[in-house]
Amino acid sequence: MNLNKITERGKSLFLAYDQGIEHGPKDFKGKNISPSYILDIAKKGKFSGVILQKGVAEKYYKRQVPLILKLNGKTSLVKGDPLSLQNCSVKEAVKLGAKAVGYTIYIGSKHEAQMLKEFGEIEELAHNKYRIPVIAWVYPRGKGVKVNSDAIAYAARVGLESGADIVKVKYTRKFEKVVDFAGECKVVCAGGSKKRDKDVLVECKNVVDSGAIGMAIGRNIWQSKHPLKVAKALRSIIFNNKSVKDSMKLLK
């Protein structure tokens, strides 16, 4: 599948903003409650794509940057093994202007079969009918699941075997193994909860040096006091192969 619309020279920096449904108010404060603020960051920060749920896309998206529409989502209010089912069709995503679609699969959940099945149907439709790429968020989660580098490598492999063009996984220091297991499926890494800028850059460098194509990051951008500087520093690592030390200079 052609990834040209959501990559630049084979690399990507995506801005994730689906935390409104996934996490709720605890992640938001002040300006970042507004999707308009985020879309402005996406444009000024030269992101390769912005990740939205359909409601936000419908009301705020004005083709600022390529749209990646998340086709499923769940709230954090339900406890126990996660199940996240489709809430938007590929057809609707394309109508909203999506250049790719995304879907989360929680491997290790007792409900994983439902998500794997649904993802398979989405992948076939997206590839064969709409000719757009599919990004799988694959997160090991559920009672008894231990999240370590093996579990994350397993997640990457599930992305490959399920037909994803890009798999989005959580960070681990052993990222090379993750990329190895993904094979021809491209890998991007999530940012996780807010941390020091330097730590984000160190993780990004490790991810890219391990062979991943970039990051799909949210909170560490739009919870930052200087989102555009962090974006610029990340871009310098991902697209210009800069060192952490050099990228840090862009934060000043």
Residues that bind ligand FBP in the complex, under the rule CB under 6 A? 16, 18-19, 22, 51, 137, 139, 190-192, 217-220
Cα separation, 129 vs 6, whole angstroms: 19
Closer CB to ligand FBP, residue 144 or residue 252?
Answer: 144
Closer CB to ligand FBP, residue 109 or residue 210?
Answer: 109
In the complex, the smallest distance separating the C-beta of residue 153 from ligand FBP, rounded to whole angstroms, is 17
In the complex, the smallest distance separating the C-beta of residue 128 from ligand FBP, rounded to whole angstroms, is 26
The CA-based diameter of the chain, rounded to the nearest angstrom, is: 47
Closer CB to ligand FBP, residue 2 or residue 114?
Answer: 114
Judge whether 168 counts as a catalytic residue. yes
Closer CB to ligand FBP, residue 103 or residue 137?
Answer: 137
In the complex, the smallest distance separating the C-beta of residue 135 from ligand FBP, rounded to whole angstroms, is 10
Judge whether 139 counts as a catalytic residue. yes
The DSSP symbol for 24 reads G
Residue 92 makes CB contacts below 8 A (sequence gap 6+) with 54
Neighbours of 246 (CB within 10 A): 14
Torsion angle in degrees (nearest 10) through CA of 115, 120, 126, 131: 150
Q: Check 11, 168, 186, 205 and give the catalytic one.
A: 168
Closer CB to ligand FBP, residue 137 or residue 181?
Answer: 137
Q: Check 106, 139, 170, 171 and give the catalytic one.
A: 139
Beta bridge partners of 49: 14
Do 166 and 188 form a contact (C-beta atoms < 8 A)?
A: yes
Cα separation, 135 vs 12, whole angstroms: 12
In the complex, the smallest distance separating the C-beta of residue 33 from ligand FBP, rounded to whole angstroms, is 15
Cα separation, 128 vs 230, whole angstroms: 37
Residue nearest to ligand FBP (CB): 191
In the complex, the smallest distance separating the C-beta of residue 76 from ligand FBP, rounded to whole angstroms, is 7
Cα separation, 236 vs 85, whole angstroms: 36
Do 123 and 163 form a contact (C-beta atoms < 8 A)?
A: yes
Any idea which residues carry the catalytic annotation? 139, 168
